[in-house]
Structures are given as structure tokens and as C-alpha cells.
Amino acid sequence: MMNQVPEITLNDGLTLPVIGLGTYKLKGSMGVNAITSAINLGYRLIDSAYNYENEGTVGEAVRRSSVPRQDLLITSKLPGRYQSYELAITAIQESLYRAHLDYYDLYLIHWPNPKQDKYVEAWQALIDAKKWGFIRSIGVCNFLPEHLERLEKETGVKPSINQIELHPFFNQGQQRKYHQEHHIITESWSPLGRANAVLENETIKQIANRHQKTVSQIILRWHYQLGAISIPKSASPERQLENLSIFDFSLDESEMKMINGLTRPDGRLQNQDPAIYEEF
Ligand SMILES: NC(=O)c1ccc[n+]([C@@H]2O[C@H](COP(=O)([O-])OP(=O)(O)OC[C@H]3O[C@@H](n4cnc5c(N)ncnc54)[C@H](OP(=O)(O)O)[C@@H]3O)[C@@H](O)[C@H]2O)c1
């Protein structure tokens, strides 16, 4: 079955579908089956990371699926411990070897780790890896405006994407506005709040009833109407299909406002503030 998913063009010309598959915790043969199922249902954008230890799983699913490699958009991410230039170049190559892929479509710096202060060096490595054909588009995750500004000032190259925590309880209004003004696409991680209390929220349930959709579909539609790419993770083919089926209805302005009103300053899932939190 094929599902038509709208696309967004990044500032470097690469085009991505507005929904991709998250793969955190999808590993081994169960992971391969889940990712292959998603591709067969119409997912083309797949998220992964060196630190998820599932680049091999993703590569295997790519080879087992019926979709040609050039029609898929595969993402991985550079871990904090490899942010020096030399280590980053090696890690990118290692990422490719693990997946048995010749190139990644998108490669992101996983966290800025500002105390370590190496992310500009890492960015230079991504810029060069793109020149050498290892990567088609380069971006970051969890970068605050001050980190994004340094990249552009010190290298002249800005990211195509910033993948950030974004769900109804933490909607990142200011960060999204910054992205919009600087032509950086927002990609939402944990778009369903990792299936926490947000899926039981009464306001969203009411909207879901009105549209005869599920709460997850309302939330993913909200991401789409915010202009963000979302990457919901699901191991279940039923829920993968549910999460793709959001293009036959729309939320009106008042419904968008109601969902926007659910955000709270302490709404992050695990208090991972990129100004302080570090991941290696
Ligand atoms: N850059 C970063 O720092 C960063 C951080 C975190 C995550 N990520 C990426 O973002 C992806 C998505 O985030 P996430 O995995 O944290 O959380 P998420 O996608 O918000 O939620 C995943 C959870 O929701 C459940 N689920 C999915 N669809 C559902 C539906 N329609 N109805 C009910 N439950 C549903 C899944 O269970 P089932 O599998 O059983 O369906 C799973 O427990 C990750 O997988 C990863 O690729 C990036």
C-alpha cells in the first residue's frame, strides 16, 4: 500500500517527506521487520543515530524493502564523544560501514554539548563529508539559537534542519520562530511525547472525537500544520499506518490554538535542556 506524504524542501535543495519513522529502540530482527513494514506502508524518511546502535538494522531494512535506495532518505547522527574533526570524519565513515550504505541523506550533530565546545569543529567535518559525497544534507539536533549562530558565523554554512524535542506539552514557539526566520526546517523528536500523558489529554481527545481521528493523528497533524517534520516511532504496522494517515483532514485555527495552549515551561520529557544537558 502506498501513502502520499507531502514534502518540504530544505535550504540546500533536498526534499523530505513531512513524516518519517523514528527508530529509537528498534533493533535486531524485530527492528528490521518494523522498519521494513514502515517502508512498505509508505515511509521514506528513516531516523537513526550512531548511539541507537541500530544503523545496521536500518541498513538491513533498506536492503530487504522493495523500495530502491535512491527513493529512501536515511538519517544518522554524530555522537558527542566524536565531535573533534578527525574523530567525526572517522565516525561518519563508521556509520556508513555499520549500515552498509554508500551515503546518508541526512547526518546530524546529535547534541551541541556546549561545555565541551567542539560542535563547530564537528560541523566542519560534516561540511567536508558532504563535499566528499558521504552525506547529502547536513543538520543538527538540540541546537539553541546561540549555537546555530556560531555555526553560520564560523563556517558560513547553516544547517538544513534542527531536530528538537517538540510535542504539545513543549511546543518550542521561540525556537521554531528562529528557525523560520533563518530558513532552517524544524524536525520534531518525541512528537507523541513518547506516548506519555499527552495521549490522554482531554482537550486533544475532544478534537479527535470531532474529527473521528485518534489523539496521535491529531497531534501529528498539528506538527504538520506548524510546518515541522515529525518522526513518530512505532514498532506496530497498525500504528505506523495510523501515524501516516493524517492528510485527509485539517485542524482549524481555534483547534491549533487549543493545542498550542497546552505547552508548559517544564514540559520537556526528561528535562534535557541543551544549554546544560550533554550526551556522549
Ligand atoms: N535527536 C534527539 O536527541 C532525539 C531524542 C529522542 C528521540 N529522537 C528520535 O525521535 C524519534 C521519535 O521519538 P520517540 O521514539 O522518543 O517518541 P514518540 O515517537 O513520540 O513516541 C513513541 C512511542 O509512542 C508509541 N506510539 C507510536 N504511535 C502510536 C499511536 N498511533 N498510538 C499510540 N501509541 C503510539 C510507540 O509505541 P509502539 O512502538 O508500540 O507503537 C512508542 O512507545 C525516536 O525514535 C528517535 O528516532 C531523537
**pLDDT at position 2, please?**
53
Cα 50 to middle of ligand 1, angstroms:
17
Q: For residues 277 and 207, what is the distance between their CA atoms, to the nearest angstrom?
A: 35
Is the CB of 272 inside a 6 Å radius of any atom of ligand 1? no
Is the CB of 277 inside a 6 Å radius of any atom of ligand 1? no
**pLDDT at position 199, please?**
98
Supply the residue whose CA is at minimum distance from atom 35 of ligand 1: 195
Is the CB of 239 inside a 6 Å radius of any atom of ligand 1? yes
Q: Which residues of 247-268 are buried (b: 16+ CB within 10 A; e: fewer)?
A: eeeebeeebbebbeebeeeebb
**pLDDT at position 280, please?**
97
Per the CB < 8 A criterion, the answer to whether 140 and 170 are in contact is no
Q: 204-222 pLDDT, tens per residue?
A: 999 999 999 999 999 999 9
Mean pLDDT over 226-241 rounds to: 98
C-alpha cell at 140: 543538527
**pLDDT at position 258, please?**
98
Residue 29 above 60 pLDDT?
yes
CA-to-CA separations, 21 to 46, 219, 250, in angstroms, rounded:
5, 15, 22
Per the annotation, the verdict on 52 as an active-site residue is yes
E-strand ranges in 83-211 read 104-109, 135-141, 161-165, 185-189
Q: For residues 210 and 206, what is the distance between their CA atoms, to the nearest angstrom?
A: 6
Band the pLDDT of 151: cuts 50, 70, 90: very high
Residue 163 above 50 pLDDT?
yes
Q: For residues 199 and 216, what is the distance between their CA atoms, to the nearest angstrom?
A: 7
Is the CB of 189 inside a 6 Å radius of any atom of ligand 1? yes
pTM > 0.95:
yes
Percent of the chain with pLDDT over 70: 99
Beta strands 45-46; 185-189: pairing state: unpaired
**pLDDT at position 1, please?**
46
Supply the residue whose CA is at minimum distance from atom 8 of ligand 1: 189
Supply the residue whose CA is at minimum distance from atom 10 of ligand 1: 189
Which of 41, 190, 244, 273 has most ligand 1 atoms within 8 Å of CB, for mutation? Answer: 190
Percent of the chain with pLDDT over 90: 99
